[in-house]
Amino acid sequence: MDHHKDPAAEILRATLFAARAHAGQVRKGAAAEPYVNHVIEVAAILAEAGAPQEAILAGLLHDTVEDTEATHADLVAAFGEEVAALVAEATDDKALPKETRKALQVSLAPKKSAAAKQLKLADKISNLRAIADSPPASWNHARRTEYVGWAGRVADGCKGVNPALDALFEETYRAAMAKLAAEAR
Ligand code: ZN
């Protein structure tokens, strides 16, 4: 990380990069929010929890390699090796079947770097909020419940680095489960 660069300027540069990369993409939820709202939310969660600058930058960029035309080399050139490596840690191998990728997220989480664990927790917090508040129209109750449970198993392997994030995940997880339980009654 180049500490001579102004942190706010770097965050805005990463925000613009993500907004351009994700232009035209929307979240799966009924609200059809711009996709970039998700990565800004992830970065905001990290910043508020006191996560390091490179994690905040990687939060903004975490879905660019997986879901846009941007490449690892683009990220190295624009933001340096450290941020690009963190994004790589947060990127699933899309060549693998979905169920394998989901299982790997659970088994690989404990082996990730401290910054990658914080990024993964913030990502899951944002996704659980979306599942509770604006779920995809095609997702039934069972699928949403299964997703929340899986996110909890991934999060278990990411805890122990940042107590503020651990607590926020716990709170978000409980709220999502409570909402699903209430809907089932
Ligand atoms: Zn994400």
pLDDT digits (tens, 9 = 90+) for 88-136: 999 998 899 999 999 999 999 999 999 999 999 999 999 999 999 989 9
* Ligand 1 center from residue 3 Cα (angstroms): 26
* Ligand 1 center from residue 67 Cα (angstroms): 10
**170 is annotated as an active-site residue:** no
Please tell me which residue in 48, 66, 133, 183 is annotated as part of the active site: 66
Residue 30: its pLDDT value, please? 83
CA distance 51 to 144: 28
Name the residue among 82, 33, 74, 34 with its Cα closest to residue 56: 82
* Ligand 1 center from residue 185 Cα (angstroms): 30
Name the residue among 10, 17, 20 with its Cα closest to residue 47: 10
CA angle 58, 103, 22 (to 5 degrees): 35
Please tell me which residue in 2, 33, 48, 67 is annotated as part of the active site: 67
Q: How many CB atoms lie within 10 A of CB 163?
A: 11
CA distance 167 to 174: 11
Domain 7-184: CATH class, spelled out: mainly alpha
Q: What is the mean pLDDT of the chain?
A: 95
**10 is annotated as an active-site residue:** no
CA distance 64 to 53: 18
pTM: 0.95
* Ligand 1 center from residue 184 Cα (angstroms): 27
Q: Give residue 179's identity as a one-letter amino acid code.
A: K
Query: Over the stretch 73-85, which tens digit does the pLDDT of each residue have?
Result: 999 999 999 999 9
